[in-house]
Amino acid sequence: MSNFRTDPEIQKLCDSYGDWFQNGCENKAGNAARMTRDLYPYTSIFSPIRVNRLTIKNRVVMAPMGNLMMAEEHGRPNEKMIQYFLARAKGGVGLLTSGLIPISDGIDNTVQETDHKVMMPRISPARTLMSGWRDLAQGCHAYGSRFFIQLTPGLGRVGPPTCLVQRHKFPVSASFNPNFYIPELPCLRLTDHSLNKIIKNAGQAAADAKACLIDGVYLHGHEGYLLEQMTNKAFNHRKLGKYADWQRFGIDMVKEIRSRVGPNYPIMYRIDLSLALNETYGETAMDSVNSLKKFKGGRSIAQTLEYMENLIKAGVDLFDVDIGCYDNWWLPHPPAGMPAGCFLEVSKIVKDHFEKKGIKSNAGVPVPVVAVGKLGYPDVSEKALRDGMCDMVMLGRPLLADPEWCNKAFAGDVDKICPCIGCQEGCVNEFVEGGHIQCAVNARTGFEDVIPETPAPAQKPKRIGVIGGGPAGVIFAVNAARRGHTVELIERTDKLGGRIVPGSVPAIKFDIANYLQWLNNQVKEAQKLPNFTLKMNTSVDSAYLAEQKYDSVVFAMGTKNACPPIPGLDKVKSVQAVDLLAHPELMGDAKKIVVCGGGVVGCETAYWLHYEYGKDVKVIEMMKNFMEGVCTANRGHLLHYMKDKVELINCARVTSFEPGKVHYNRNVSKGVPNPYNTWQPLLPENIGNPLEKKLGSETQDFTADADLIVLAMGGRPDDALYVEALQHNAAPEIFNIGDSFAGGRVLEANRAAFRLSQRI
C-alpha cells in the first residue's frame, strides 16, 4: 500500500509559492512588497523575551548561516568569523547563532576534508579552540547580544560526495539513502554505536559551549540533515535497534545535553514542520523518481508536533520552524521569487498548538516559536509578532545585506536598510563553490576583518568622473564622495540602476525593486554633499573626457546585448528580453512567444510572460541545463513553477527564423537531462559526476510557432569607450568596473565598486 500522504495546509502553501502575486495569496510585505515603515515604532520587535533563565533584549534572532572557511584548519573560529558576528551584534541583534558546527568527526565522512582539515569551525575542550569561541561570545556580550552555537550531528546524505571521490569514504545516513548530489551513490547505514557516540559528543560540545560563555546550544534538526535523517520516517527506515524509533535519537540527544549543562542552560531546536516533498512533487513523481521514491513517508504535521512536545519534555526551550529540505531547496532557502514572510503560517500552526495545549518548558515558561524566511521587512516582522504568528523573528540574509538592520529599524530609518535581493550569489553560492559567506549587495560582509566599517577620508581628494549609473557606478560614486572625493556620476538614460531597472519589473523580482529604490535613496543622500554631482540623460565621449581633465575616470558602462547572426532574424518580430521588460507594450498581441536563451534573464522573462501576461511560452537553450551557475534554490523555484506552464527545450540550437516560425536542432539522445529536474543539483565543474549519463550525438530538426521572438542570449562588456580612453590617456587613472569588465552579476559589480571606492 502506498504511504503517500499530504497535509492540506502544506499543500496550500506549496501551491501558492509560484503565483502568490496573482492569486490573492498575499505577500506579507503587502502587494507592492516594499520596505515600508507604517508600523513604526516597532515596539514588538524591540521588546525583550525570556528563554529559560536567559533574557534576550529584542525579538530578532540572526539565522544560522554556515561559517564555512571562517575557521583555522583545526577548527578555531578565526578573526574573520569573529568580526563578522561582532558587526551584527553591534548592529543590535538580540540573539546571534553560529552556522552548523559538526560533532561527528570520524563518523560522518562529509564533515572533514583531506588530512583531517576542517571547513567549518569545531568546538572541544581544547584550549586552542575554546579561545576563539570565548572571544566571540565575550565580544557579543559587550554589545548586549546573546550567542548560541548550532550543533549538527552531520550532513549525512546531503553531504558532498567528495569524501568518496577524493578519500574513498562513503557518506553515511540513517538508512541506505541515496546521496543528494549523486543519487546513484548509496549512503552507508550508521551503527547504533556510532549514533550513541554522536549523542555523547553533543553533550560534550554543549558543556564546552557553556564553558566558552556561549549562551545556549541550538540543534540542527531541519532541512534533511543527519539529525533529521534520524528523526524523520522519510529517511529513517531502520527496522532494528533503538533508533528504529524515529524520535529516539533527537530526544536522547536533548536529554544528554541537558544532563551535561544543567536545568537553566537554553536549548534551541531547529525543525521543519514538514519536508513538503509529497506536496511539492505529487504522487506520480514521488512514485517514479528513483531518488525521491524512498522519501514518501515523511512526518505529518501532527507527528512533528507530537515530536516537538516530546523534545520539550526532554529539555528544549525554544524552536524555530520552517518547511522543506534539500530535495526542494527553494523552501528552506527561499529565493528572490518567494513571497516575503513565506513561512509565517508554519510558525503560527506551532504557536497555536503550544498555546492551545498550554505547553511550557521544563523551566516553567512558554516555549517561544521563532519564524524564519524572508522577514527582512520591518513592517512584516512587526505585524507577525503583533498578530501572534510567532514570538521571535529570525533574519538570515537580511543581516548579511545590512548588519545594522536592527539599529536602523529601531530608529525608523527603514529607507536606509539595504535590502537582500534573494540572489544567493554571495551567500549560498559562494560557499557551495568553495568560498565563505559574502553578500552581493554588501561588499563588506565576510570581510569585516579587513575592511573597516568607517573608511579613512581620502588623503588626496580627486576629481572623479563616473561613467554609468548602474549598481557599480552608483556604489562607487556614493562611497568615493563620502570619503571626500569630488565625484560626477554620469548616466546616459533617465534612470539609475542599469540592468536592474528591467530586472525589477517581474512581480517575483520585488526584492530587486527594493534594492533599486535603495540605490536611488543613496544617490539622493549623496546629492546633499557639495562634492557630488549627478548628470542624467548625458552621453559621454572621448572629447568630453579630454575637456573635463578628471584625475580619475571610472567606467561602469554595463553590457551590450548579444545578437548572434542567425539567418532570418531580420524577417521576424524580435525584441531583446531587457527591452521587453522595460517596455511590455512591445509584445503587442503576440500569443506564442519563443525565448532564445535559457539563462536567468531568459527564464525570468519567460516566467513573467506566462504568469503576468498569460502567454504561451517556450524557451530554447543550447546547454544541457537551464540557468547554469545560478543557485540551486533559485533555479529550483523557477523550474518547478514553470513545469506544465512554460516549455523548456534544452540541448537545442536555433538554426533559422522565418515569419511566425523558429527552426531549431535538438539533441534527442538519452543523455539529455530532464530540464525540470529540481530534486538533483548541478555539480560544480571541478567535481563532476563520474556516473552521469553521457550526452549522445543524435539530433533532430524541429519547428516552433512564434508571434514574437525574445532574445536573451547574454551580453558582452560595453567597454569600447574605456579602451578608447586608455588609448588616449584620458586621465592619470582609468578604471573599468562592473559588467563592463565582466560578470553580469550584482555581486561582482558591487565588490569591485566598493573596493575601488575605499582605496582610490
Ligand X SMILES: Cc1cc2nc3c(=O)[nH]c(=O)nc-3n(C[C@H](O)[C@H](O)[C@H](O)COP(=O)(O)O)c2cc1C
Q: Is 325 in the site for ligand X (CB under 6 A)?
A: no
Q: Which of 57, 248, 270, 637 binds ligand X (CB under 6 A)?
A: 270
Per DSSP bridges, beta strands 172-173 and 216-220 are unpaired
Coil vs helix vs strand at 397? helix
Name which of 499, 476, 488 is nearest 750 in CA terms. Answer: 476
Q: Is 159 in the site for ligand X (CB under 6 A)?
A: no
Q: Which of 51, 276, 427, 638 binds ligand X (CB under 6 A)?
A: 427
Q: Which of 130, 318, 406, 437 binds ligand X (CB under 6 A)?
A: 437
| Nearest approach, Cβ of residue 746 and ligand SF4 (Å) | 7
Q: Is 333 in the site for ligand X (CB under 6 A)?
A: yes
**Count of C-beta atoms within a 10 Å radius of residue 724:** 13
Q: Is 334 in the site for ligand X (CB under 6 A)?
A: yes
| Nearest approach, Cβ of residue 97 and ligand X (Å) | 8
Report the residue number, 182 or 321, with the smaller CB distance to ligand X.
321
How wide is the angle at C-alpha 670 spanned by C-alphas 664 and 672, nearest 5°?
A: 50
Residues 364, 315: Cα–Cα separation, whole Å: 11
Q: Is 396 in the site for ligand X (CB under 6 A)?
A: yes
Q: Which of 261, 395, 421, 439 binds ligand X (CB under 6 A)?
A: 395
Residues 649, 292: Cα–Cα separation, whole Å: 24
Residue 485 contacts residue 464 (beta carbons within 8 Å) = yes
| Nearest approach, Cβ of residue 416 and ligand SF4 (Å) | 16
- Give the number of residues in contact with ligand X, rule: CB under 6 A: 24
Buried b (16+ CB within 10 A) or exposed e, 414-445: bbbbbbbbbbbbbbbbbbbeeebbbbbbbbbb
- First-residue to last-residue Cα distance in the chain: 69
| Nearest approach, Cβ of residue 320 and ligand SF4 (Å) | 18
Report the residue number, 420 or 507, with the smaller CB distance to ligand SF4.
420
Cell numbers linked to 226:
543527519
> Please, which of residues 192-251 interact with ligand X by CB under 6 A?
220
Helix then strand then coil, % of the chain, to nearest 5: 35, 15, 45
| Nearest approach, Cβ of residue 150 and ligand X (Å) | 6
Q: Which of 178, 315, 398, 558 binds ligand X (CB under 6 A)?
A: 398
Report the residue number, 99 or 599, with the smaller CB distance to ligand X.
99
Q: Which of 151, 205, 230, 372 binds ligand X (CB under 6 A)?
A: 372
Q: How far is CA 702 from CA 649, 659, 707, in A?
A: 11, 15, 17
Q: Is 316 in the site for ligand X (CB under 6 A)?
A: no
Q: Which of left, alpha, beta for 215 (phi over 0: left; psi -120 to 50: alpha)?
A: alpha
Binding mask 90-109 for ligand X (x = CB under 6 A): ---------xx---------
Report the residue number, 17 or 269, with the smaller CB distance to ligand SF4.
17
Report the residue number, 118 or 423, with the smaller CB distance to ligand SF4.
423
Per partner kind, with CB cut-offs from 5 to 8 A, the member of ligand X, ligand SF4, none near residue 441 is: ligand SF4
Q: Which residue has the cell 554543549?
A: 206
Residues 142, 96: Cα–Cα separation, whole Å: 13
| Nearest approach, Cβ of residue 218 and ligand X (Å) | 8
Name which of 274, 296, 394 is nearest 14 in CA terms. Answer: 274
| Nearest approach, Cβ of residue 513 and ligand SF4 (Å) | 14
| Nearest approach, Cβ of residue 636 and ligand X (Å) | 14
Report the residue number, 101 or 427, with the smaller CB distance to ligand SF4.
427
Does the CA dihedral 630-633-637-642 come out positive or negative?
positive
Q: Is 374 in the site for ligand X (CB under 6 A)?
A: yes
| Nearest approach, Cβ of residue 745 and ligand SF4 (Å) | 10
Per partner kind, with CB cut-offs from 5 to 8 A, the member of ligand SF4, ligand X, none near residue 636 is: none
Report the residue number, 209 or 427, with the smaller CB distance to ligand X.
427
Per partner kind, with CB cut-offs from 5 to 8 A, the member of ligand SF4, ligand X, none near residue 333 is: ligand X
Q: Which residues contact 411 (CB under 8 A, 6 or more apart)?
A: none
Report the residue number, 281 or 377, with the smaller CB distance to ligand X.
377
| Nearest approach, Cβ of residue 597 and ligand SF4 (Å) | 23
| Nearest approach, Cβ of residue 414 and ligand X (Å) | 17
Report the residue number, 64 or 153, with the smaller CB distance to ligand SF4.
64
- Amino acid letter, residue 238: R
Taking CB under 6 A as the binding criterion, the range among 105-113, 371-379, 440-448, 590-598 that sits at the site for ligand X is: 371-379
Taking CB under 6 A as the binding criterion, the range among 350-358, 367-375, 516-524, 691-699 that sits at the site for ligand X is: 367-375
| Nearest approach, Cβ of residue 63 and ligand X (Å) | 3
Name which of 671, 661, 662, 660 is nearest 699 in CA terms. Answer: 671
Residue 619 contacts residue 598 (beta carbons within 8 Å) = yes
Residue 555 contacts residue 722 (beta carbons within 8 Å) = yes
Per partner kind, with CB cut-offs from 5 to 8 A, the member of ligand SF4, ligand X, none near residue 423 is: ligand SF4
Cell numbers linked to 625:
541545463
Q: Is 426 in the site for ligand X (CB under 6 A)?
A: no
Binding mask 58-97 for ligand X (x = CB under 6 A): -----xxxx-------------------------------
Residues 659, 677: Cα–Cα separation, whole Å: 33
- For residue 584, the surrounding DSSP H or E stretch is none
Spell out the alpha helix ranges (H) of 549-629. 577-582, 600-613
- Amino acid letter, residue 47: S
Query: If you compute the radius of gyration of the chain from its CA atoms, what whole number of angstroms results?
Result: 26
Report the residue number, 137 or 633, with the smaller CB distance to ligand X.
633
Residues 91, 311: Cα–Cα separation, whole Å: 33
| Nearest approach, Cβ of residue 663 and ligand X (Å) | 42
Q: How far is CA 34 from CA 247, 376, 386, in A?
A: 42, 11, 19
| Nearest approach, Cβ of residue 293 and ligand X (Å) | 26
DSSP state, 466? Answer: E
Is the bond preceding residue 564 a cis peptide, omega within 30 degrees?
no
State the residues that interact with ligand SF4 by CB under 6 A. Answer: 397, 400-401, 420-427, 439-441
| Nearest approach, Cβ of residue 424 and ligand SF4 (Å) | 4
- Amino acid letter, residue 518: W
Name which of 232, 246, 308 is nearest 275 in CA terms. Answer: 232
Residues 432, 686: Cα–Cα separation, whole Å: 12
Report the residue number, 249 or 515, with the smaller CB distance to ligand SF4.
515
Residue number of the CB closest to ligand X reads: 396
Per partner kind, with CB cut-offs from 5 to 8 A, the member of ligand X, ligand SF4, none near residue 99 is: ligand X
The residues of the shown chain that bind ligand X, judged by CB under 6 A, are 63-66, 99-100, 150, 220, 270, 322, 332-334, 372-375, 395-398, 427-428, 437
